[in-house]
Amino acid sequence: MVVTSVVIGVDVGGTNTDAVIVAKSEGNLKIIAKSKTQTTSDVTTGVTKAIHLALIASRKENVSLVVQQVNIGTTQFINAVVECKNLVKVVVIRLCGTASRKLPPFSDFAKRLIESVQGSVFMLNGGYQFDGQAITPVDEE
């Protein structure tokens, strides 16, 4: 049995999740196996299934695979932002002294997105200017 180093690529789309196993030999790329499965609401389940199906399909090639890398691409993040769905509120801690209080976090976000992601905001003493000069000393209390 031939041992082959491969890269697994996964694309999570809105409808389908695709996986491909690719080997590089002497500068040439060869598709060892591929799969397509339905995208699941739990993205991890769909990714796992697509990789599993591709690995099963690779058995036909009679090669032993050494997975060097797994790349996963998805539109899930951008869709969540655009739709303001499945987002979690975040806390922002900014060390800024008085330097950037007039430009608060999320100031250029759409109102709907701010309502979806903005948790607490803390503007604290401390931080540095772009040239390394201290804005104010850090107040550890």
End position of a domain, from candidates 44, 74, 104: 74
End position of a domain, from candidates 19, 42, 74: 74
Higher confidence at residue 109 or residue 61? 109
Indicate the average pLDDT of the chain. Answer: 91
Same domain, 6 and 46: yes
Same domain, 18 and 59: yes
Give buried/exposed letters for 65-104 (b at 16+ CB in 10 A, else e): beeeeeebebeeeeeebeeeeeeeeeeeebbbbeeeeeee
Same domain, 93 and 126: yes
Do 138 and 95 contact (CB within 8 A), yes or no? yes
What backbone phi and psi angles, to 5 degrees, belong to 27?
80, -5
Which range of residues forms the domain containing residue 14? 2-74
* Residue 22 confidence class, pLDDT cut points 50, 70, 90: very high
* Residue 33 confidence class, pLDDT cut points 50, 70, 90: very high
pTM: 0.62
Same domain, 66 and 48: yes
What backbone phi and psi angles, to 5 degrees, belong to 53?
-65, -40
83-131 per-position pLDDT tens digit: 998 899 999 999 888 778 889 999 999 999 999 999 999 999 888 888 9
